[in-house]
Structure 1
Amino acid sequence: MDDQPFSLLKNLAKAETNDSKRTDGKLSFVSAMDTLNIHSVFDIVRRSKAGFVRDLSSISDADGALAYENARCYATQIVRLYRNQLVSSGRNQQLTKRTGVRSLVDIGPSFPNLFKENWDLFCKVGAIEAKDSPVAYLTSLYRFAREELEGSSAETNRITLDDRRPDLKNLIIDQQSTFTPIPTLQIVNQVLSDAIHAYTDTVSASRGKSIYQLVAEKHHPFLFPYNFHYQQIRLGLAGKKPVLGELSYRMSLETPATSPATRAYGKVQNSSVVAQVMMSGLGPEQQKILLEPALPAESESHRAHMNAEESDPISQFFKLKYDVDYATGMNNPLNSLKVFVEQTGLDSDEVETLLAVGSHTPYASPNILPDAMTGGSSRYGASYVNGLDAQESMSLGSDAQGARQLLNTSVDRFDRLQRMIRLQRWMGIPFSDLDTLIMAVIHSEGVANSKAVLTTNTLRALGVWRYLNARYGLAADEFSTFIHHMAGEANDGRLPLFDRVFNSPLLYDAPVVMDGVTPIYPSGTNQALTVRAQLSAALTLPDANEGLLLLLEDIILLSNEPLSSFFLMPSMMSSLYRQARIASLFGLTVKDSRALIDLLGGEVYRNQVVNGELTKTPDAANGEPDVLDILMQLDWATTWLKETGQDIATLRRQLGVEAVENAVTQEVADLLDQLALDAQASALTQEQLVSLNMPTKDDGNNPIDWWSVVLAPLIGAHGLVTAQPLDQDADTSIGETIRAQLIPLELSEEIKVSLAASLEAFVLKGYLTQHRLMEGLLQSVASLPMDRCEPVMRWAGSSVDQFLGSVLDDVDARQSGSSTSDNVTEKLMKLTRYAGVNQQLGLTAQALRIFLAHPHWLHAGLAETLPLSLNSLYLLDRYRHWRDRCGHPEALLLDYLRRANNNAAVEQCAALLALLIGWSSSEVQSASTLLATRSGVAMSTHEVDWLSRMHSVSETTGLTARQLLDATGLMPVSAADKWKTVGEAIMSSSR
Structure 2
Amino acid sequence: MPDQAFSLLATISKAETSSATNNEGRLSFVDAMQQMAIGSVFDILRRPKPAFVRELMKFSDANGELAYENARCYATQIVRLYRNQLVSSGRAQTLTRRTGVRSLVEIGPSFPNLFKENWDLFCKVDAIEAKDSPVAYLTSLYRFALNELEGSTAEAKRINLDLRRPDLKDLMIDQQSTFTPVPVLNIVHEVLGKAIRTYVDTVQADKDKTLYQLIAEKQHPFLFPYNFHHQQVMLGLSGKQPSLGELSYRVSLQVPATAPGANAYGAVQQPSAVAQAMMSGLSPEQQLILLEPRPAVENIASFFKRKYNVDYLDDASNPLNALKVFTEKTGLSASEVESLLAVRNNTPYPSHNVLPALHSDARTYGASYVNGPSTAAAMDIEFPDDAPPRLINTSVERFDRLQRMIRLQRWLNIPFAELDTLVMAAISAEGAANPGAVLTSNTLRALGCYRYLHRQYKLLPEEFAAFLHHLSPYASDARLPMFDQVFNSPVLFDTPLTLDGSDFSLTSTDSKTIKTLAQLCAGLQLPATQDSLWLLAIDTRELIGDAPQSLKRNLSTISSLYRQTRIAAMFGLAAKDSWALIDLLGGEAWRKQVVTGQLTPHADSAAEPDILDILMQLDWAVAWLKNTGRDISTLRRQLGVDASEATIAQTVLDQLNQLAGQACTAVLSAEQLLTLDLPSDSEGQAIDWWPLLAPLINEQGLVLARPLTLIEDLGADLTQVINEQLADITFADEAIKAAAINRLMEYVLGGYLAQHRLVEGLLQSTADLPLDRSEGVLRWEGSSADQFLSVLLQATASAEPGQTEALAEALNTLLRHAEVNQQLGLSAQALRTFLVNPHWLHPTFSGPLRLSLPSFYLLDRYCDWRNNAEKAEERLLDYLSHANRTSTPTAKECAALLAALLDDSATEVEAATKIFTTHKFAQSMSQVDWLRRMHSASQQKHLANAQLLKATALSPDSAIGDWQAVGEAVMAANR
Q: Are 2:141 and 1:138 aligned?
A: no
> Is residue 177 of structure 1 aligned with residue 177 of structure 2?
yes
SS of the aligned residue for 1:61 comes to coil
Offset, 1:732: 5.0
Which amino acid in structure 2 is aligned with residue 624 of structure 1?
E
Query: In 2 relative to 1, CA 343–958 (structure 1 residues): closer, same or farther, beyond 3 Å?
Result: same
Q: Whole-Å Cα distance in 1 between the matches of residues 159 and 146 of structure 2? A: 11
Give the structure 1 partner of residue 502 of structure 2: 517
> Which secondary structure state, in structure 1, belongs to the residue aligned with residue 552 of structure 2?
coil
Alignment of 1:725-740 (within 5 A): 725-734=708-717, 737=720, 740=723
AA matched with 2:29:
F
Shift of residue 629 of structure 1? 1.1
Q: CA deviation at 1:611?
A: 1.6
TM-superposition CA deviations, 1:550-608 (whole Å, max 9, x none)? 22322232221777763212222222222222222222222222222111111111111
Amino acid at match of 1:203: V
Partner in structure 2 of residue 762 of structure 1: 747
Q: Distance in 1 between matches of 2:801 and 2:546?
A: 51
TM-score between the two structures when normalised by the length of structure 1: 0.91
**Distance (whole Å) between structure 1 residues aligned to residue 612 and residue 385 of structure 2:** 51
- In the alignment, the residues of structure 1 paired with residue 20 and residue 801 of structure 2 have an alpha-carbon distance, to the nearest angstrom, of 143
- Contact map agreement 2:236 2:974 (CA 8 A) in 1: yes
Using a 3 Å threshold, how does the CA distance of structure 1 residues 244 and 97 change in structure 2: closer, same or farther? closer
Taking every aligned residue pair, what percent have the same amino acid on both sides?
54
Q: State the distance in 1 between where 2:243 and 2:11 align.
A: 77
Deviation at 1:94, TM superposition (A): 9.4
- Any residues of structure 2 matched to 1:304-319 within 5 Å, and which? 312-319=298-305
CA contact (8 A) 1:12 1:70 kept: no
- Distance (Å, rounded) in 2 between the aligned partners of 1:772 and 1:156: 106
* Residue ranges of structure 1 left out of the alignment (5+ in a row): 99-105, 302-311
Structure 2: distance between partners of 1:322 and 1:147: 41
Displacement of 1:34: 2.8
Does structure 2 conserve the Cα–Cα contact (< 8 Å) formed by 1:481 and 1:578?
Answer: yes
Structure 1 position 396 matched with structure 2 position 378? no
What is the match of residue 759 of structure 2? 774
Q: Which amino acid aligns with 1:989?
A: A
Paired letter, 1:284: P
CA contact (8 A) 1:280 1:459 kept: yes
Match of 1:856 in 2: 839
Are the equivalent residues in 1 in contact too, given 2:45–2:68 (CA < 8 A)? no
What corresponds to 2:70 in structure 1?
67
Deviation at 1:464, TM superposition (A): 1.2
Deviation of the 1:643 alpha carbon: 1.4
> Which of 846, 856, 859 is matched with 1:876 structurally?
859
TM-score by length of 2: 0.92
After TM superposition, give the deviation of residue 861 of structure 1 in Å: 0.8
Aligned to 2:311: 325
Distance 1:21 1:811 in 2: 138
Answer whether contact 2:764 2:771 (CA < 8 A) is retained.
Answer: yes
Kindly tell me: are residues 11 and 780 of structure 1, through their superposed partners in 2, closer, same or farther at Cα, counting changes over 3 Å?
same
Partner residue, 1:717: 699
Question: Is 2:648 aligned against 1:664?
Answer: yes
Shift of 1:703: 6.5
Deviations 1:758-810 (A, max 9, x none): 44433333222211111111112222111111100000001112212222334
Question: SS in structure 2 opposite 1:406?
Answer: strand
Instruction: Please tell me whether the aligned partners of residues 842 and 926 of structure 2 are also in contact (alpha carbons under 8 angstroms).
Output: yes
Task: Give the match for residue 194 of structure 2.
Answer: 194
Shift of 1:134: 3.4
Pick from 923, 930, 936 the counterpart of residue 939 of structure 1.
923
* Distance in 2 between residues matched to 1:988 and 1:831, nearest whole Å: 55
Q: Distance in 1 between matches of 2:806 and 2:2?
A: 132
Shift of 1:329: 3.0
Deviation digits for residues 408-442 of structure 1, max 9, x if unmatched?
11111111111111111111111111111222222
- State the match for 1:103 in structure 2: none
Q: Secondary structure at the match of 1:691?
A: helix
| Counterpart for residue 76 of structure 1 | 79
User: Is 1:612 aligned to residue 597 of structure 2?
Assistant: yes
Residue 121 (structure 1) shift: 7.0
Match of 2:512 in 1: 527
Among 585, 609, 616, which residue is 1:632 paired with? Answer: 616
Distance (Å, rounded) in 1 between the aligned partners of 2:560 and 2:623: 25
Partners in 2 of 1:985 and 1:69 — Cα distance? Answer: 61
SS at match of 2:71: helix
Shift of 1:849: 0.8
1:304 paired residue number: none
1:292 equivalent in alignment to 2:292: yes
Q: Distance in 1 between matches of 2:580 and 2:438?
A: 36
State the Cα distance separating 1:14 from its structure 2 match: 4.4
Give deviations 1:267-305, integer Å, cap 9, x for gaps: 111111111111112111111111111234xxxx3xxxx
The residue that corresponds to 2:470 in the other structure is: 485
Equivalent positions of 1:820-839 (< 5 A) are 820-839=803-822
Q: Partners in 1 of 2:569 and 2:969 — Cα distance?
A: 39
Q: CA deviation at 1:743?
A: 8.4
> Which letter does structure 2 place at the counterpart of 1:340?
F
Question: Does the 8 Å contact 2:271/2:604 carry over to 1?
Answer: no
Q: How does 1:444-463 map to 2 (within 5 A)?
A: 444-463=429-448
Residues of 1 paired with 2:222 and 2:6: CA distance? 68
CA displacement 1:826-853 (0-9 Å, x = unmatched): 2111101111111111111111111101
Secondary structure of residue in 2 paired with 1:219: coil
Instruction: Name 2:569's counterpart in structure 1.
Output: 584
The question of 1:952 aligning with 2:965 is answered no
Equivalent pair of 2:599/2:611 in contact (CA under 8 Å) = yes
- Please say if 1:38 is aligned against 2:35: no
Measure the CA separation in 1 of the matches of 2:714 and 2:861. Answer: 33
Aligned-partner Cα distance in 2 for 1:663–1:154: 102
Q: Tell me the residue number matched to 1:559.
A: 544
Tell whether the 8 Å contact from 1:396 to 1:407 is kept in structure 2 after alignment: yes
Displacement of 1:49 in angstroms is 4.6
User: In the TM superposition, what is the alpha-carbon distance from 1:255 to its structure 2 partner?
Assistant: 1.2
Residue-by-residue CA offset, 1:935-974 (whole Å, 9 max, x unaligned): 1x11111111111112222222222211111111111111
Deviations 1:799-824 (A, max 9, x none): 1122122223344445xx79743222
Gapped regions of structure 2 (runs ≥ 5): 99-105
* Contact kept? 2:723, 2:741, Cα under 8 Å: no
Is residue 346 of structure 2 the alignment partner of residue 360 of structure 1? yes
Provide Cα deviations, 1:103-145, integer angstroms capped at 9, x if missing partner: xxx9999999999998877766644455554334433443443
Whether the 8 Å CA contact 2:540–2:595 is kept in 1: the answer is yes
Paired AA for residue 947 in structure 1: L
Separation in structure 1 between the aligned mates of residue 487 and residue 144 of structure 2, nearest angstrom: 72
| Alpha-carbon shift at residue 691 of structure 1 (Å) | 2.9
The range that moved more, 787-796 or 161-170, is 161-170
| Residue 166, structure 1, aligned to residue 151, structure 2 | no
Q: Distance in 1 between matches of 2:464 and 2:74?
A: 80
Q: CA deviation at 1:398?
A: 2.2
Greater shift in the superposed pair: 51-60 or 474-483: 51-60
| Structure 2 contact 858–925 (Cα < 8 Å) conserved | yes
| Aligned 8 A contact 1:251 1:268 in 2 | yes
Aligned residue-pair number: 960
For each residue in 1:621-672, what CA deviation from the matched residue of structure 2 results, as whole angstroms up to 9, or x when unmatched? 4211111111111111111111122222111111111122111122111111
Pair 1:433 & 2:418 matched: yes
- Whether the aligned pair in 1 keeps the contact of 2:542 and 2:549 (CA below 8 Å) is no
Structure 1: distance between partners of 2:801 and 2:633: 36
Separation in structure 2 between the aligned mates of residue 482 and residue 810 of structure 1, nearest angstrom: 52
After TM superposition, give the deviation of residue 79 of structure 1 in Å: 4.4
State whether structure 2 residue 953 is matched by structure 1 residue 979: no
Is the 2:218–2:225 contact (alpha carbons within 8 Å) kept by the matching residues of 1?
yes
Aligned partner of residue 223 in structure 1, secondary structure:
coil
Distance 1:287 1:373, change over 3 A: farther
Aligned-residue CA RMSD in angstroms? Answer: 3.0
Return the alpha-carbon distance in structure 2 between the equivalents of residues 314 and 139 of structure 1. Answer: 53
Contact 1:813 1:819 in 2 (8 A): no
Q: Residues 827 and 74 from structure 1, CA distance in 2 versus in 1: closer, same or farther, beyond 3 angstroms?
A: same
**3-state SS of 2:637 partner:** helix
| Distance 1:810-1:210 versus aligned 2 partners, 3 A rule | same
Residue of structure 2 equivalent to 1:309 = none
Distance in 1, Cα, partners of 2:372 & 2:685: 97
